[in-house]
Amino acid sequence: MSEEAITLKHLTVAYQSVPVLWDVSLGFKKGKMTAIIGPNGAGKSTLIKAMLQLIKPLTGEVAFSLNDHQMAPYKEVKQQVAYVPQNSSVDWDFPTTVLDVVTMGRYGRLGWFKRAKKADKEIAAQQLAKVGMQTFADRQISQLSGGQRQRVFLARALAQEADIYLLDEPLAGVDMKTERIIMNLLHELVAEGKTVIVVHHDLQTVEEYFDEVVFINRSLMAAGSVSSAFTDKNIEETYRTDQNVGERSAQP
Amino acid sequence: MEQLLALFSDYTFQIVALGTGFLGLLSGVVGTYATLRKESLLGDALSHAALPGIALAFLLIGKKDLVYLLGGALISGLIATALIQWISKKSTVKFDNALSVVLSSFFGLGLVLLTHIQGLENANQAGLEKFIYGQASSMLLSDVQLLLAVGAGILVLVLLLWKELKVFAFDPVFTQTLGFQTRILQFILSAMIILTVIFGLESVGVILMSALLIGPAVAARQWSDRLGVVLILAGLFGMVSGVAGTFISSIGRQIPTGPTIVLVLSLIVMISLIFSPKRGLIIRWVNQRRKKKAYIKQIEEKQERSEKYAR
Amino acid sequence: MLVEIYLIAVVVALACSLPGVFLVLRGSTMLSDAITHTVLLGIVLAFFVVNDLNSPFLIVGATLVGVLTVWLIETLQHTKLLSNDSAIGIVFPLFFSIAIILITRYAGNVHLDADSVLMGELAFAPFRRMTLFGMDFGPKVLWSMLIILIINVLFITFFYKELKITTFDPGLAAALGFSPVFLHYALMTLVSLTAVGAYDSVGSILVVGFMVGPALTGYLLTHRLKRMILITLITAVFNSLVGVKAAFVLDTSIAGMIAVVTGITCLLAFLFSPSKGSIQAIRNRWKQRKNLKKQAASSHIKS
């Protein structure tokens, strides 16, 4: 069995009074491309946010393992984990250029006070070229289409040069060209030995794109390699058990 | 002409113009971050909330020493900010609603304390109300020196934390995943806004301070898409308004300085909104007309072609 | 005298709090903050025209300028060149500055100083009497605020359903044929009118507190609109009575004291409300964590 990049133990998350994720214990395999699948409101985004400590879980642990094979909590490995949020709710009228946004991916490595150097800008420009946006480098960000914005945010994550990439629905509402570019890049990352975890909504493409699959609906429904776990039975159970779990979560 | 020369060599004018000019520069820079974080009205609330702090400091110390008064204002401003953010984050109460309630009850407390002070037998009391309207003409050299020192500190901090403040203003969640403590950045930003507002109270007063924070930022945004340029322009617009406002109110009789500064600033804002070559209303209108014409022409040509084809 | 001050305080508080209910629900209270400042310009301009501080035209002029403020702010917001709150923060200081400059320059010798407009003073309100045919009918402000209160009550009674639907679902309201824009401007006209009426007794800065405070207390204590209005009115009366009393005991600004009491009742509601209070929320979360931990532990044992 291959090693785990992220290990979750009994993770439970609640907003206000409703548990959104219930007792999730799970390992994400290192160097693989994993899809997180589940119906709307199943807690997929919450799972990612809880792993990044953007939401404080009620109980449970999240541990990361990088190339040194040591398990560590998130705050010690922040630099090695890159995150692409779902349709990022930033102010698109912000006075900044595309290249500037991608360069922000370098800031974490620089730490407090240090300025971005020429080398950082070059890395940012390279990532921008990878997503096919180099000609837009000097544009203000409000002039981009939805797919282009998504590619810029992927480039920003790439500029972080992390070991683990977490992406929340990167393919939602993007054009075919953007989808192809994003998936090719993610496969390249995996080929380099990096771990990629994607919240995915399109069941049709799971077998084509991913190695591993995780089914989530309020709790862990199933997990494993696509060849073994992506079965009709698991899909059906994940997408129809809403009421079941609803009852359980209604308990005080 | 001679009068003008006399004015420029006038010591009081020099001090006041230096003070209002530097204040304008500072509020332009700090206000740009405040508006980008959508916290521009926080400045308005803070300027009102500073009043009880000023009054309390006076009651405790018994004299009108600017440093203590500003210290009191800083503390009550910080309390009000924390209260507003706490209420709007921890409940379903909207930010605006929390803002207006905190603003008016703090100001009410300030009035209560000021009225109490006025009832005391104390010759020093006169002039505390000037914080409500501001009175630039009464700025002293020591006031301006304090402003310059604190302001320079803020500007240095902005330079040092350039990339941190930029990425935080743009995308706070991402900033957190990069490993920066966003709580620290939020505190620094709030403290900078409060300090600027408090210095503004003395010269333009409680009510007009929000214009000085928002105006330069909005005007500057029309002329550039880069944060650095926007910040420099905002500082410049703020400074020009400060100096020009002071100048105009000095040459006329009975023209209050604070409102005149706001008037000059509003003029700059209007010009920027209307005439900016990239985003201005005029260029937008022209572009829309041009596009419309192009569409109409296309449709007409299509119709002509189809008519020809039909024949 | 004393009774009159209590009466005026109560009537002003009631008149202000009614439109406040819908301001709070719509989250547009800073817009009303802007209005309460800009009506000063209306008063000044109307004064220049009629040259009489007691003319009803002052109220008309000020109300018009209040509505003009809303229109200008919203026009700026529609350009998308600046954020919504920036538009507010630019327009009202401009109008206010013009008013202050006009006052200092031209009206210096008339009783129209910025002081009384901004701060107001309830204690002086009973000095301005309403006399008809040589008979004394009580303080003038009491009458004008009573009329404004009645107008507000009538408006909210007649348009209750429309106000409710445009507040909670503007899209649906428009589809059903109620114009959200019309109601919005009608409400803003009332806010302006109320602000003008109240300025010389409580001052333009504190009017916002009178409008928002009781309504926010009501909002925190219930989920139902009718009950919210009721609680708002009760809180308004309570705040003004306690505020006036405290001001007399401490010998200080009455309006300021009412604003302080308003803030305190609001804070108490925020802390202790049984449904939306923050202490209740903390307790819930704490209890829930304990339960979930217990449940989680037992489910591990089972598995």
Q: Which of A15-19, B192-196, C162-166, C237-241 has the lowest mean pLDDT?
A: A15-19
Contact C97 B259 (CB under 8 A): yes
Q: What percent of chain A has pLDDT over 70?
A: 92
Taking residue A91's Cβ as centre, other Cβ atoms within 10 Å add up to: 16
Rounded to an integer, the average pLDDT of C61-80 is: 93
Residue A20 belongs to domain spanning = 4-250
Dist. CA A187–CA A172, nearest whole Å? 18
Cβ C93 vs Cβ C73: under 8 Å: no
pLDDT at A15: 75
Residue C28: its chain B contacts at CB < 8 A? 96
Rounded to an integer, the average pLDDT of C47-63 is: 83
Closest Cα in chain C to B261: C97
Per-residue pLDDT of B75-84, as tens digits, reads 999 899 889 9
Determine contact: C88 vs chain B, CB below 8 A.
yes
pLDDT classification of A180: cutoffs 50, 70, 90: very high
Residue B90: its chain C contacts at CB < 8 A? 278, 281
Average pLDDT, chain B: 88
Q: Among C90, C228, C240, C257, which would you mutate to test the B interface (most chain B Cβ atoms within 10 Å of its Cβ)?
A: C90
Dist. CA B273–CA C288, nearest whole Å? 52
Using the Cα atoms of residue C104, residue C107, residue C109 and residue C112 in order, give the sign of their dihedral. negative
Question: B162 burial class (0-12, 13-18, 19+ CB within 10 angstroms)?
Answer: middle
Nearest beta carbon to residue C108 from set B218, B222, B254: B254
pLDDT at A67: 65
CA distance C71 to chain A (A): 24
Q: Which of A11-20, B128-137, C188-197 has the lowest mean pLDDT?
A: B128-137
Q: What percent of chain B has pLDDT over 90?
A: 51
Q: Across the strands, what pairs with A37? A: A215
User: Tokens 């400059």 label which residue?
Assistant: C101
Dist. CA A231–CA A238, nearest whole Å? 11
Number of domains making up chain A: 1
Average pLDDT, chain A: 87
Nearest beta carbon to residue B104 from set C27, C81, C259: C259
Residue A92: its chain B contacts at CB < 8 A? none
Q: Which has more confidence, A158 or A251? A: A158
Per-residue pLDDT of B26-64, as tens digits, reads 999 999 999 998 888 888 888 889 889 988 998 888 777
Residue C295: its chain A contacts at CB < 8 A? 251
Contact C90 B109 (CB under 8 A): no
Helical spans, DSSP H, in chain A: 44-51, 74-77, 98-103, 107-110, 118-130, 146-159, 176-191, 206-209, 226-229, 232-240, 242-250
Per-residue pLDDT of A34-59, as tens digits, reads 999 999 888 899 999 999 988 888 88
Contact C296 A10 (CB under 8 A): yes
Q: Across the strands, what pairs with A197? A: A34, A166
Residue C250: its chain B contacts at CB < 8 A? 112, 116
pLDDT at A252: 36
pLDDT at B307: 82
Nearest beta carbon to residue A59 from set C80, C284, C292: C292
Residue B161: its chain A contacts at CB < 8 A? 112-113
pLDDT classification of A251: cutoffs 50, 70, 90: very low
Closest Cα in chain B to C120: B111
Determine contact: A74 vs chain B, CB below 8 A.
no
Q: Among C22, C40, C86, C240, which would you mutate to test the B interface (most chain B Cβ atoms within 10 Å of its Cβ)?
A: C86
Rounded to an integer, the average pLDDT of C174-203 is: 87
pLDDT winner (highest mean) among A18-32, A87-101, B30-44, C62-76: C62-76
Dist. CA A122–CA A135, nearest whole Å? 14
pLDDT at C300: 60
pLDDT classification of A245: cutoffs 50, 70, 90: very low
Q: Which of B129-133, B156-160, B175-179, C252-256 has the lowest mean pLDDT?
A: B129-133
Q: Among B59, B96, B270, which would you mutate to test the C interface (most chain C Cβ atoms within 10 Å of its Cβ)?
A: B96
CA distance C301 to chain B (A): 35
CA distance B259 to chain C (A): 4
Residue C216: its chain B contacts at CB < 8 A? 93, 97, 101
- Angstrom CA distances, C107 to B244, C78, C113, stand at 24, 36, 8
Determine contact: A250 vs chain B, CB below 8 A.
no
Rounded to an integer, the average pLDDT of B169-196 is: 91
Closest Cα in chain A to B178: A108
pLDDT classification of C297: cutoffs 50, 70, 90: low
Dist. CA A35–CA A13, nearest whole Å? 20
Closest Cα in chain B to A83: B177
CA distance A185 to chain C (A): 36
Contact A54 B173 (CB under 8 A): yes
Rounded to an integer, the average pLDDT of C256-274 is: 93
Residue B171: its chain A contacts at CB < 8 A? 88, 90, 104
| Residue C31 pLDDT greater than 80, yes or no | yes
Per-residue pLDDT of A209-233, as tens digits, reads 999 999 999 889 999 998 898 988 8
How many interchain CB pairs under 8 A, A with C? 25
Nearest beta carbon to residue A58 from set C284, C292, C300: C292
Rounded to an integer, the average pLDDT of B280-284 is: 92
Cβ B169 vs Cβ A94: under 8 Å: yes
C5 alpha carbon, distance to own chain's centre = 20
| Residue C303 pLDDT greater than 60, yes or no | no
Per-residue pLDDT of B75-116, as tens digits, reads 999 899 889 988 888 778 888 899 999 999 999 999 899 888
Give the start-to-end residue ranges of the domains of chain C: 2-272
Dist. CA B38–CA B26, nearest whole Å? 18
Dist. CA B94–CA B159, nearest whole Å? 33
| Residue A10 pLDDT greater than 70, yes or no | yes
Q: Which has more confidence, C20 or A19? A: C20
Dist. CA A222–CA A51, nearest whole Å? 19
Q: Which fold has domain B2-217?
A: ABC transporter involved in vitamin B12 uptake, BtuC (1.10.3470)
CATH number of the domain to which A34 belongs: 3.40.50.300
Nearest beta carbon to residue C288 from set A10, A17, A23: A17
Dist. CA C153–CA B29, nearest whole Å? 46
CA distance C99 to chain A (A): 33
| Residue B126 pLDDT greater than 90, yes or no | no
The two structure tokens encoding residue C208: 């916002």
Cβ B275 vs Cβ B222: under 8 Å: no
Nearest beta carbon to residue B97 from set C27, C82, C104: C27
Q: Which has more confidence, C185 or C138? A: C185
pLDDT at A246: 42
Contact C27 B43 (CB under 8 A): no
| Residue B185 pLDDT greater than 70, yes or no | yes
CA distance C264 to chain B (A): 8
Dist. CA B65–CA B68, nearest whole Å? 6
Q: Which chains touch C (3+ CB pairs under 8 A)?
A: A, B
Rounded to an integer, the average pLDDT of A155-174 is: 92
Q: Which has more confidence, A71 or B248? A: B248
Residue C293: its chain A contacts at CB < 8 A? 58-59
Nearest beta carbon to residue A12 from set C80, C281, C296: C296
Contact C209 B111 (CB under 8 A): no
The CATH architecture to which C2-272 belongs is Orthogonal Bundle (1.10)
Determine contact: A231 vs chain B, CB below 8 A.
no
Contact C97 B35 (CB under 8 A): no
Contact B262 C94 (CB under 8 A): yes
Residue A88: its chain B contacts at CB < 8 A? 171, 174
Closest Cα in chain B to C24: B97
CA distance A70 to chain C (A): 26
Per-residue pLDDT of A73-92, as tens digits, reads 888 888 889 999 887 778 88
Q: Which of C176-180, C218-222, C263-267 has the lowest mean pLDDT?
A: C176-180
Question: A68 burial class (0-12, 13-18, 19+ CB within 10 angstroms)?
Answer: exposed
Closest Cα in chain A to C286: A58
How many interchain CB pairs under 8 A, A with B? 76
Contact C288 A58 (CB under 8 A): yes
Residue B100: its chain C contacts at CB < 8 A? 29-30, 32-33, 208-209, 212
Residue C256: its chain B contacts at CB < 8 A? 107-112, 115
Residue window 134-173, chain A: list those with CB within 8 Å of chain C: none
